[in-house]
Chain A
């Protein structure tokens, strides 16, 4: 799905939001229901739990054309699968280190933790990530990464 998310370009840099189906994805719902605005370049992908995300998938997302990746999970003590959110956070830290090695700004990857009703947080985060990567400019991928 990563690749497909990124096929259609818009004027702004593509941002992939990997959302867990519990709090993350519902936060996207609630931001939509409340008619909060964020740029259309933010593409949402649903996973069962943030803990399922693997580092190679995050790197794959960049390869597929995402300029930034945000992982949205539940709050640590409210993770619907006990440990998923914390595991994801650790993996994000690891992925950030890897990105640095690859010459990609680690700021392009961020973990967010929110609960269902925090649709405004999602909209803000999406806006923030878009602005951040607009400032950083297009992603420079080294060959073979």
Chain B
């Protein structure tokens, strides 16, 4: 290694520091330190003339290490490193210290001691500079493709964004149809516009009949050339590194050829199997071959394999005019290579039957908000009529119960945030359709924090919806009339009420989607205590995770209303695009390095590494050593502190450099 020639640049910050520190003494001290070839003094070295001084010193005096005492080191470092790099020196051969904030200012009362400290700081910086090593920039390839897990509102928005930006996108959905939870909602608050449009979200693809930018119905999700939609699929395994993941996907058979089906409805007419329709809250029945609602994507029937009699019946095969039905389809495994993964698995309703006193599982007239949403939806099972599921008669007295399983330490301590608005929406929709309906909402607090949301609440009150502050203790059933009675204490009026009801609507907590835990394990992500995915930093790095290349959006991080989920999805798409757009990932090699002569067979570092960057690899039959993946390593050094044999060092922060 060449002899270090150190240039020391002392900035007095516009004479501010020389009032406190003795710069002459410092200069004399530094002069006598071995290997220092140049000392320059000035008022600032991080812009303009000062930077030029550094460039000239590197070029003319051939210095190969730079020590700068400068204010605001975290800002000036950037400029200085850049300049040094342009002058032909590795930017990591620079050491910047802060004599103002770390020495002069906090010790202004004791200038003599401060000068001594400044000397020590300079000496330390010089000694460190001597030992610094050049750090190279590494480049890793990144595929310009993404996998989006979850075809709800967030997943679809992200998919469309990324497709529009020119990436190859794979959107996978567990269910046989796209749309997720938001599609079932019927209407969205606070505008009461239809939710069905989310199944074909905003894209600039225009059809002949459709030109509006606002209404997005039929805007051509399926027509996007770079979007591959995999329905009925789930992720089985994810391997690889950011920029190049290999994802294994299991695709359940649909038994209907997506390219052939013309959605003519002949198959459902002949299908003899009838089962309660889960999607529509079991308020009607569907056949074994079915479509959720008429305008879903993909507009292709699906066979429910749990009830279909297959070749024993096969009536649908005979009647299909395009021979689209294939009862012999088998599950297939698809392998995809993608640059990054976006998780948009969302959330679901808490199972209210856990709360025994509300009898959700044994009183048919106790339903949840999502089930009510299907009832209100014009495409839904009742065509928009509000009925009692037990006898099909119109429901006039309706009681909503808020916070079922949320804000409840027994189940979920958090507030799901959106259920108040959902209940307000439903109550107002019922009240405007059936003005003589008697609608009450039992609440703990009404939380309407969004734009226009408070007016929505106000309007609901003006419509005559009753608000009762109190959490109902129990739902009872009158054995004679069969009517439900909700026991509640009105905390404002301080009296007990027995509310008679035709229909009781529960607003359950929103909890993470099914399989969230398994997916987190597959991806190597962490979950929060409430079971949702952990965002890296919701303020500065929203939608990111601790693993570069994996992003989160929508309800995966917490329950969100549709606009927020969309917004979150756009953010995730943006982050993904930023990550993949160059086709490569550039990273400096300030990473951990293992001395394989010392490393031996323990498992401390791979377990400790928060980023999963260390793996154990065999060298001989019974000897394993740790290897660090430079792409995954974030350079924190936690492994260094953990190694019992001191076999790991962090480049740029080796023990002798500290």
A67 within 8 A of B: no
A117 within 8 A of B: no
Rounded to whole Å, the gap between the CB of B612 and the closest CB of chain A is 11
Interface centre among B101, B123, B636, B646 (most CB of A within 10 A): B636
Give the distance in Å from the alpha carbon of A30 to the alpha carbon of B124 in the complex: 22
Output the nearest chain B residue to A19 by Cβ-Cβ distance. Answer: B102
B74 within 8 A of A: yes
Whether A52 lies near B117 (C-beta < 8 A) is no
A98 within 8 A of B: no
Q: Which of A14-33 contact B (CB under 8 A)?
A: 26, 28-33
Residue from B101, B120, B634 in contact with A4 in the complex, judged by beta carbons closer than 8 Å: B120
Interface string of B644-655 (1 = CB under 8 A from A): 001000100101
Whether A87 lies near B638 (C-beta < 8 A) is yes
Whether A51 lies near B636 (C-beta < 8 A) is yes
| B608 CB contacts on chain A under 8 angstroms | 83, 87
**A-contacting 9-mer, from B106-114, B161-169, B344-352:** B106-114
Interface of B is mostly: helix
A9 within 8 A of B: yes
Q: Which of B527-565 contact A (CB under 8 A)?
A: 546
Give the distance in Å from the alpha carbon of A1 to the alpha carbon of B121 in the complex: 9
With A32-B105, A51-B636, A52-B636 as contacts: A45 and B658 at CB distance below 8 Å: yes
Whether B101 lies near A33 (C-beta < 8 A) is yes
B635 within 8 A of A: yes
| A38 CB contacts on chain B under 8 angstroms | 106-107
Q: Which of B625-657 contact A (CB under 8 A)?
A: 634-638, 640-642, 646, 650, 653, 655, 657
| A134 CB contacts on chain B under 8 angstroms | none
Whether A2 lies near B117 (C-beta < 8 A) is no
Whether A52 lies near B124 (C-beta < 8 A) is no
B103 within 8 A of A: yes
Whether A84 lies near B636 (C-beta < 8 A) is yes
Whether A40 lies near B653 (C-beta < 8 A) is no
Output the nearest chain A residue to B117 by Cβ-Cβ distance. Answer: A40
Whether B105 lies near A48 (C-beta < 8 A) is no
Output the nearest chain B residue to A31 by Cβ-Cβ distance. Answer: B106
| B635 CB contacts on chain A under 8 angstroms | 48
B127 within 8 A of A: yes
B119 within 8 A of A: yes
Q: Which of B76-125 contact A (CB under 8 A)?
A: 98, 100-103, 105-110, 113-114, 116-117, 119-121, 123-124
With A9-B116, A87-B608 as contacts: A1 and B641 at CB distance below 8 Å: no
Residue from A56, A82, A88 in contact with B610 in the complex, judged by beta carbons closer than 8 Å: A82
With A8-B116, A10-B117, A87-B641 as contacts: A44 and B108 at CB distance below 8 Å: no
Rounded to whole Å, the gap between the CB of A144 and the closest CB of chain B is 20
Interface string of A43-83 (1 = CB under 8 A from B): 11101110111101100000000000000000000001111
Whether A91 lies near B641 (C-beta < 8 A) is yes
| B119 CB contacts on chain A under 8 angstroms | 8
Rounded to whole Å, the gap between the CB of A141 and the closest CB of chain B is 21
Whether B127 lies near A4 (C-beta < 8 A) is yes
Whether A44 lies near B114 (C-beta < 8 A) is no
Whether B107 lies near A37 (C-beta < 8 A) is yes
With A48-B650, A51-B637, A82-B546 as contacts: A37 and B108 at CB distance below 8 Å: yes
A: interface residue count bin: 35 or more
With A1-B124, A48-B650, A83-B608 as contacts: A37 and B109 at CB distance below 8 Å: yes
Q: Which of A77-101 contact B (CB under 8 A)?
A: 80-84, 87-88, 91
| A123 CB contacts on chain B under 8 angstroms | 106
Give the distance in Å from the alpha carbon of A12 to the alpha carbon of B113 in the complex: 9
Give the distance in Å from the alpha carbon of A8 to the alpha carbon of B101 in the complex: 19
With A47-B653, A48-B635 as contacts: A87 and B106 at CB distance below 8 Å: no
A11 within 8 A of B: yes
Rounded to whole Å, the gap between the CB of B11 and the closest CB of chain A is 15
Whether B102 lies near A29 (C-beta < 8 A) is yes
Q: Which of B34-77 contact A (CB under 8 A)?
A: 73-74
| B108 CB contacts on chain A under 8 angstroms | 35, 37
Output the nearest chain A residue to B116 by Cβ-Cβ distance. Answer: A8
Output the nearest chain A residue to B104 by Cβ-Cβ distance. Answer: A32
Give the distance in Å from the alpha carbon of A33 to the alpha carbon of B74 in the complex: 13
Rounded to whole Å, the gap between the CB of A106 and the closest CB of chain B is 19
| B637 CB contacts on chain A under 8 angstroms | 47-49, 51-52, 84
Rounded to whole Å, the gap between the CB of B538 and the closest CB of chain A is 12
Give the distance in Å from the alpha carbon of A83 to the alpha carbon of B607 in the complex: 11
| B636 CB contacts on chain A under 8 angstroms | 48-49, 51-52, 80-81, 84
Rounded to whole Å, the gap between the CB of A54 and the closest CB of chain B is 5
| A11 CB contacts on chain B under 8 angstroms | 113
| A81 CB contacts on chain B under 8 angstroms | 610, 634, 636, 638
Whether A32 lies near B98 (C-beta < 8 A) is yes
Give the distance in Å from the alpha carbon of A7 to the alpha carbon of B119 in the complex: 10
Give the distance in Å from the alpha carbon of A28 to the alpha carbon of B102 in the complex: 7
Give the distance in Å from the alpha carbon of A6 to the alpha carbon of B108 in the complex: 20
Give the distance in Å from the alpha carbon of A4 to the alpha carbon of B131 in the complex: 14
Residue from B74, B127, B646 in contact with A54 in the complex, judged by beta carbons closer than 8 Å: B646
Give the distance in Å from the alpha carbon of A10 to the alpha carbon of B114 in the complex: 9
Residue from A2, A30, A36 in contact with B658 in the complex, judged by beta carbons closer than 8 Å: A2
| B116 CB contacts on chain A under 8 angstroms | 8-10, 40
Residue from A1, A36, A56, A57 in contact with B657 in the complex, judged by beta carbons closer than 8 Å: A1
A5 within 8 A of B: yes
Sample of 17 more A-B contacts, CB < 8 Å, known A33-B101, A39-B110, A57-B655: A1-B124, A7-B123, A8-B117, A9-B116, A29-B74, A29-B101, A32-B100, A35-B106, A41-B113, A48-B650, A49-B638, A52-B641, A54-B655, A83-B610, A83-B638, A84-B610, A87-B608
Would you list the 5 A-B pairs with minimal beta carbon distance, nearest first? A32-B101, A52-B637, A81-B636, A51-B638, A82-B610
Jot down 22 A-B pairs with beta carbons below 8 A, ordered by A.
A1-B128, A1-B658, A5-B120, A5-B124, A6-B120, A8-B123, A10-B116, A31-B101, A31-B106, A32-B101, A32-B102, A37-B107, A40-B107, A40-B113, A40-B114, A44-B102, A52-B638, A54-B646, A56-B646, A82-B546, A84-B636, A87-B638
